[in-house]
Structure 1
Amino acid sequence: METLFKDLRYGVRSLLKQPAFALVAVITLALGIGGNSAMFSVVNAVLLRPLQYPESDRIVVLEGINPSKGITQSNMSIPDFVDWQGQNQVFEQMAGFIAGGSALNNGDETERIHGTLVTADFFSIFRTPSLLGRSLQSDDAQPGREPVMVLSYGLWQRRFGANRGVVGSKVMLQGQSTTIVGVMPAGFDYPAQTEIWAPFPLEPAKEARDDRFLSVVARLKPGETVTQARAQMDTINQRLAQSYHETNSGWTVKVTNLQERLVSDVRLSLLVLLCAVAFVLLIACANIANLLLARAASRQKEISVRTALGASRWRIVRQLLTESLLLSIVGGAFGLLFSVWLTKLLIAISPAYSPRFDEIRPDARVLIFTVTLTLITGLVFGLAPALQASRSDLTEGLKEGVRGGSGGARGNRLRRLVMVAEIAMSFILLVGAGLLIKSFQHLREVKPGFNADNLLTMRVSVPPGKFKDDGQRRQFFQQAGEHIQSLPGVQSVGMVLSLPLGGDTWNVWRGYIREGRPATTDEAGDAAYLPATPEY
């Protein structure tokens, strides 16, 4: 231990004698380690950390697929959902939900919010207790019951001022007086962006089997696996296809773990970025290794004198590695501080619908990763220069020291090798960056299928109870369009259920039969649809 303290004291003195070298090395390491720590914080929160729900590995998403029609992802119809609930033996609970816009008025003004209609077992699947009041219960959706809803933590804070007495109060939701029965805790927002949850009554007799608009989640029974669930759901869908050949032929179900489903679109991108910052750190290590080799060449006389005085090769290597680890530890400490700022920046610039980015925060795993990376980094850039410097010939070292020291032919070869590796890694990064820039340019040049110049959009949410019938509803929107059309500078007005590229496109499929063709399964088809006005 005494020898270690001596190495540390000598290492600090040696580095302070060359402050410019130490400063460059620390800054380089701080940037490299900080970038890796920040990127790992993102990967840890999004890909590695389990979802916050109890036993979240048992929560799955069920989606319809029809390979014969090229449909790889679809919601399901209410009749099929009810049959799934009644016939499966692998799920503890199964629930459906419909996400969309809702009009909320609590006496101040009407606001369009993200609302989700859920079936009875929705909150039982996630097993997250409410912060205030209660969550929705199975009898909340029964006919004749008073309309109720549950608030998200964010909406409770923003719209209701975190008033703990909000439970039991009434607001207008979609034109109906609705009682607030609970508030969910912070972080519970499934599906993403949801601000209120309201009960959804199931009436399978009134719905068509080819009207697929219901999203489905479920919780596996203890001991059941996703593979077993897929096999049983395939069996159920085969029975449904035999019983309802015209609407269910070719349809099966995809069962996916909820966490995998949430992050599937960003997994590859995050791993690629993590590899990219790892390459940056390797380049930084190569840079510092080159600096250490040059520094060792200038210290050949010192090392030769220490060898002549009886210092072993291991003693020399240990001293030089101690200096490298000192640089790495200081760089890692500043890198950890830099990673905190960089992580906040990544969260701020991330797209609005980035999954789990609101859960990114430092934890023990990130700290262990950063400490381990710091120590490994010190060994990576310090070991080769230390071994090279300790291998010098005593007589030649003293002579080189008198002449000023060039490091010898062996040292020059190692420096050239490090430079070649550094250039190779830089070239790989440059090629990758060039490909990303080229892909970005291609994306910018992709035509969305419409001319977006001089287009303005707005969202309108009208309470369902505002109109007595569909005729009044159509008249309202027609008059609204005519009024907007009359405004100065407006050339044309169109309306559609969901804006293109707006992030809220409905994934609704309906069956259709070609006019003049027999209503058989071979002639039937399924298509996604969006209601729109002719002007659209």
Structure 2
Amino acid sequence: MLTDLRLALRHLAKARGFALIATFTLAIGIGSSTAMFSTLRALVMHPFDYPESEKIVQVWSGDGWPLSPADFHDLHEQNTSFTDFGVYQPGSVNVGTERAQAVAGVRATSGVLRAFGVQPFRGRFLEPADEVEGAAPVAIVSYGLWQQTFGGTPDLVGQTVRLNSRNVTVVGIMPADFEFAAPWMRTQDCQVWTPYIWGEDEREQRDSHYLCGVARLHNGATVGSADAEIKSIGTQLTALYPDSNTRKEFLVRSLHYEMTNDVGGQVWLLFGAVALVLLVACANVASMLLARSAQRQGEFGVRVALGATRSRLVRLALTESLVLAALGATVGLAFSYGGIEVLKLIAPTSEARKAAIALDAAALLFALGATVLTTLLAGIPPALAAARTSLVGVIRSDARGAVGSRARHHMLRALIIAQIAVAFVLANGAALFSASYFKILEQNQSLSTDLVLSAKLNLRSDAYDDNEDRVRFWSKLTEHLQAIPGVTSVGLTSKLPLEGGSNTNALVNDETYDPTQRRTSVERSSVTTDYFATMGITLLQGRNLTATDDMTEDGHLGVVVNRAFVEKAWPDKSPIGEIFRANQPEDPWYTATVVGVVENVRQWSATAEPQPEMYTTPPRHWGETVHINLRSTQPASFLAPQLRAAITELDHELALENVRTLNQVVNDATAGERAVAGLVNFFMVAALGLVAVGLYGTLSYHIVQRTREIGVRMAIGAMSGDILRLVFGQGLRWVGMGIVIGIAGTFALSSLLTSVAYDMDGITALPLSLSTAAVGTAAVLATWIPAWRASRLNPIQALHMD
């Protein structure tokens, strides 16, 4: 074996150009697939590292529907499946005083952190006694917050810190590698856990759903058995509370499913795309090795004459492939390291998940497996050709060795056609995802502007416990912001478009309350009167909101609704003056009169269909968190310092977060789709480049093999154009066959492609045309150069060529 390795290294040293191209070709395939495998493992296959993580589950009132306080307490008391069960509510936390910073945090019951099975690095968990109203305020902080904000103070546990303008005692610090995996906080790293203090009568609420439930299974319990038990308890609750629980379908799902379901399909798709690139790279190197083996027929013939067996020839060919694969893997690991850093930048996930995307032992083991696979895929075709070496055939061949075997030519053609077909499938996927991404941007175009600056502000502190205090603060802030030079309008809202929502059920027209019937779900937003003008949302009918809409003369709310609400509730008449109310048996918390209609904006995500929505004036509905929006006549990013100064002037312990333009809001909301489209396009370009190199090399090899034939043709009268058409036509036939097979492969994979591409119902003419153009252009360029060189051959030199 060592002799074979030395021989392979000598041969490659003599053909440095070939060795360099083959090494970098395999490096692209192995490096990109290793980087993508690391991403797949971190985001889908092994997204967290908790003790017995398969026992951690999420508990819902329905598919992604949070729990109500009363339902949680009933489930907590009656279940036998969980050792620990708690609920939490995400929210921002203002840390510090003069230079307060906003960090992600949760209000959690005592069972939440215990369910993850990770002990605090220092201190203790939250306890049930911490949840009692009037208890001393406490908190647990993350290791990162301890180090970065509190300077790693050794005795932080037991000390008092300032959180949300309150003095809070730190009772615990979580470990450095602990990650709070929460479906509602996929892109955030939780830094603070405070106890959930149950408000007066809150434990009895069943109509309000805002608590995310997490639990750890008992030994012997399974997700299925726990789900069955929770459903059984839910059936009993429906019988006891038909008005509130009739349509609730309680369920239990694994935390792994909840954290990977949304991204799993796209990441697996990208891994499949990069696997295709690896296949193209292997086929490319196999074709180059196959062409090289034709030049070694004389050498192989001599070896056969001296007694070499076929297995010996196969081993020689595979050894050369192994050396190239090893070199490719070495360079590929450097590529994969750079690729991982790029993936960390574009992956729409939390910093903790990004840190898990690494060139670790699992990734290195995958790279080793990819190297072995590459050795076989790239080495088998030339090995088979070497095994067919016949001493008689070598002796009978032309002394110049100008003609290769028919089997080798067929194998080369098959490899090139296969590469073109795979590249076509990738090109079609790239066209499909690019079209999908641009469609998403087009549908959210009304929000894509740099003239509006947006920021979030949290008022969780004792100073703003009363709604009246919050209303006064927002009124003062609006006055300060309107006075900033360059600001044309200020709009406040309880929730920003594209980032989630809050909804209620409504009775419209002649509907009456019936707990067994599903009524219209309506998104609910509290906004100031200048909100629509600030955001650029078009008023379609009626009028804008006014301050008096908080309560009209007949005791109703004056509300503005969106077009989706009108199309669902009043498709054939004017909605102005129509009345709807809350879907409750008596004393609804609102009865509303429609005063205006505005254009739709997407609420839950950039791809979610617009839902019926109502906008109300704020005084009755302000919560603790509000989104501030400033419109300017110039790019609004320059307003950020003035905005921070205005907040500090009113309350220096408040911290702004997510300060960005609306254009950045749209970019953040479409980050996942943009990353997928960009990566598929990158893989497509890599595949096309490899195909072009392979096609160019194979045609060049054929020209060398047919040099004397071309010389004869030109000697008997063939013109340069005839030779050009001959060689160019041969290449185009291969390209055409590859595209036809690629079209068939694309349609075979159409259901998979369209299932993960937004708003794509099937393979259409546009992506097929773009794919054909991309593959055809690369192939034509790769084919034209060797064809042009063949047409410029000197017939005298060709006939005398040895």
TM-score normalised to the size of structure 1? Answer: 0.92
What are the residue-to-residue correspondences of 1:287-298 with 2, within 5 Å?
Answer: 287-298=284-295
Q: Could you tell me which of 132, 135, 138 is aligned with 2:128?
A: 138
Q: Deviations over 1:148-191 (max 9, x none)?
A: 11111222222112222222221222222111112111232423
Q: Which structure is richer in relative contact order (CA contacts within 8 A, separation 6 or more)?
A: 1
Q: Deviations over 1:434-478 (max 9, x none)?
A: 112111221221136657452111222224312474223211211
Aligned to 2:2: 5
Q: Deviations over 1:391-444 (max 9, x none)?
A: 133233134362233312221111111111111111111111111211122122
- Larger deviation: 82-91 or 200-209? 200-209
Q: Could you tell me which of 370, 373, 382 is aligned with 2:370?
A: 373
Corresponding pairs, count: 523
Q: Could you tell me which of 496, 500, 509 is aligned with 2:497?
A: 500
The structure-2 alpha-carbon separation of the partners of 1:404 and 1:349, relative to structure 1 and needing over 3 Å to count, comes to same
For the pair 1:245 / 2:235, whether they are aligned, the reply is: no
For the pair 1:197 / 2:189, whether they are aligned, the reply is: no
Aligned to 1:311: 308
Q: Could you tell me which of 524, 527, 531 is aligned with 1:529?
A: 524
Aligned to 1:63: 60
Aligned to 1:69: none
The structure-2 alpha-carbon separation of the partners of 1:516 and 1:419, relative to structure 1 and needing over 3 Å to count, comes to closer
Report the Cα distance in structure 2 between the residues aligned to 1:312 and 1:155, rounded to whole angstroms: 68
Contact 1:514 1:523 in 2 (8 A): no
For the pair 1:101 / 2:101, whether they are aligned, the reply is: no
Two-structure CA RMSD over aligned residues (Å): 2.2
What are the residue-to-residue correspondences of 1:274-353 with 2, within 5 Å?
Answer: 274-353=271-350
Aligned to 2:173: 183
For the pair 1:236 / 2:233, whether they are aligned, the reply is: yes
- Larger deviation: 396-405 or 325-334? 396-405
Aligned to 2:216: 219
The structure-2 alpha-carbon separation of the partners of 1:356 and 1:463, relative to structure 1 and needing over 3 Å to count, comes to closer
Aligned to 2:264: 267
- Larger deviation: 82-91 or 493-502? 493-502
Q: SS where residue 145 of structure 1 aligns? A: coil
Report the Cα distance in structure 1 between the residues aligned to 2:54 and 2:9, rounded to whole angstroms: 49
Q: State the one-letter code of the partner of 1:87.
A: Q
Contact 2:110 2:125 in 1 (8 A): no
Contact 2:133 2:198 in 1 (8 A): no
* Displacement after TM superposition at 1:535 (Å): 2.8
Q: Deviations over 1:284-320 (max 9, x none)?
A: 1111111111111111111111111111111111111
Q: SS where residue 458 of structure 1 aligns? A: strand
Q: SS where residue 495 of structure 1 aligns? A: strand
Aligned to 2:117: 127
Aligned to 2:25: 28
Q: SS where residue 493 of structure 1 aligns? A: strand
Aligned to 2:424: 427
For the pair 1:160 / 2:150, whether they are aligned, the reply is: yes
Q: State the one-letter code of the partner of 1:83.
A: D
The structure-2 alpha-carbon separation of the partners of 1:82 and 1:256, relative to structure 1 and needing over 3 Å to count, comes to same
Report the Cα distance in structure 2 between the residues aligned to 1:194 and 1:220, rounded to whole angstroms: 23
* Displacement after TM superposition at 1:511 (Å): 5.2
Aligned to 1:68: none
The structure-2 alpha-carbon separation of the partners of 1:44 and 1:473, relative to structure 1 and needing over 3 Å to count, comes to closer
For the pair 1:454 / 2:451, whether they are aligned, the reply is: yes
The structure-2 alpha-carbon separation of the partners of 1:449 and 1:94, relative to structure 1 and needing over 3 Å to count, comes to farther
Q: SS where residue 212 of structure 1 aligns? A: coil
Q: State the one-letter code of the partner of 1:471.
A: E
Q: State the one-letter code of the partner of 1:251.
A: K
Report the Cα distance in structure 2 between the residues aligned to 1:342 and 1:406, rounded to whole angstroms: 43
Q: SS where residue 73 of structure 1 aligns? A: coil
* Displacement after TM superposition at 1:518 (Å): 5.1
Q: Deviations over 1:38-88 (max 9, x none)?
A: 1111112222226311111011011222xxxxxx42211100110111111
Contact 2:48 2:179 in 1 (8 A): no
The structure-2 alpha-carbon separation of the partners of 1:468 and 1:351, relative to structure 1 and needing over 3 Å to count, comes to closer
Q: SS where residue 252 of structure 1 aligns? A: coil
Q: SS where residue 94 of structure 2 aligns? A: strand
- Larger deviation: 224-233 or 134-143? 134-143
Residue segments in structure 1 that go unaligned for 5+ positions in a row: 66-71
- Larger deviation: 421-430 or 332-341? 332-341
* Displacement after TM superposition at 1:338 (Å): 1.9
Aligned to 2:488: 491
The structure-2 alpha-carbon separation of the partners of 1:405 and 1:495, relative to structure 1 and needing over 3 Å to count, comes to same
Contact 2:158 2:169 in 1 (8 A): yes
Report the Cα distance in structure 2 between the residues aligned to 1:355 and 1:267, rounded to whole angstroms: 18
- Larger deviation: 252-261 or 48-57? 48-57
Residue segments in structure 2 that go unaligned for 5+ positions in a row: 532-802
The structure-2 alpha-carbon separation of the partners of 1:204 and 1:515, relative to structure 1 and needing over 3 Å to count, comes to farther
Contact 1:510 1:529 in 2 (8 A): yes
Q: SS where residue 406 of structure 1 aligns? A: coil
Q: SS where residue 459 of structure 2 aligns? A: coil
Report the Cα distance in structure 2 between the residues aligned to 1:248 and 1:511, rounded to whole angstroms: 14
Report the Cα distance in structure 1 between the residues aligned to 2:466 and 2:299, rounded to whole angstroms: 95
The structure-2 alpha-carbon separation of the partners of 1:121 and 1:38, relative to structure 1 and needing over 3 Å to count, comes to same
- Larger deviation: 215-224 or 42-51? 42-51
Q: SS where residue 113 of structure 1 aligns? A: strand
Report the Cα distance in structure 1 between the residues aligned to 2:448 and 2:39, rounded to whole angstroms: 36
- Larger deviation: 157-166 or 78-87? 157-166
Report the Cα distance in structure 1 between the residues aligned to 2:395 and 2:267, rounded to whole angstroms: 52
